[in-house]
Amino acid sequence: MQRFRLGLLTLAAIFAFTGTTLAEEPPSFSYSPQPPGTIQSSQVVYLAGQAMHSQWRGVVSKKLVGTSAGMSFYQWYVSIYAINDTTYQLKYQSPGNGGPYDKLERTSDASMWFPAQSGSIVGAAQLMGPGIEQLVVSTHQAGADCGSADITIFAYDAKKQKVVPAASIENGCDLAAKIVHASNGDTLVLSGPYYNATAPMCCPTMPKASATLSYLHGKWVEKPNYYKLYPNSFPHP
């Protein structure tokens, strides 16, 4: 998949969230275009700072692509929209604009589609500094084995006027994330199995491990370094 690099986030004005009231979302809104299939989770996020009519929305949805042998196969999507009056306009979608989702492919005998996919929105967090938020999304893809789990942090690059990945974290089989809000900034607590360099997928070095992801002095820092961190890009080629 195409890799992106996050340029310097330049905002003409940054509105502090602390002690302020968030701009209200329109009571009735629509999407243009509509998220594919059925919406599984949705989240308001202020990717470009707090201002009137500055809402964005992240949506995770899935669309049926086929059935076989009593099984249903779904293409999953991450769609990110920016508000325009009462309509959310699509600005980013995966697959299509990059990761974290691959496009499903049919097997040679045309009986199944792979990879198996799932996902959800973790939430919105001010990980990279006060006044702007990033969207945190959890996704999973699997083929014949337990697959790969990714946590993707989406941000808005004001210089390029594009939604981009600020970072992706990858782990075999499973990986969860929890947003921790604190007065000195938000962080992510990551949890899942830990595999050292020689551990097979069947046998993690630590079945249950935990690490903290922070953004310090312009860099992502993971402590301990249990999971694969890809700053400013998706882990998939």
- Residue 110: pLDDT band (50, 70, 90) is confident
- The average pLDDT across 65-81 equals 96
- Residue 25: pLDDT band (50, 70, 90) is confident
- Give me the residue spans of the domains in the chain: 30-231
What's the full length of the chain, in residues?
237
> Which tens digit of pLDDT belongs to each residue from 175-222?
999 999 998 899 999 999 999 999 999 999 999 999 999 999 999 999
- Residue 22: pLDDT band (50, 70, 90) is low
- Residue 16: pLDDT band (50, 70, 90) is very low
Most confidently predicted of 25-29, 97-101, 223-227: 223-227
> Which tens digit of pLDDT belongs to each residue from 134-184?
999 999 999 878 999 999 999 999 888 999 999 999 999 999 999 999 988
Report percent pLDDT > 70 for the chain.
88
Residue 124 in this model has a pLDDT that exceeds 60: yes
- Residue 234: pLDDT band (50, 70, 90) is low
Task: Report the pLDDT value the prediction gives residue 26, as an integer from 0 to 100.
Answer: 82
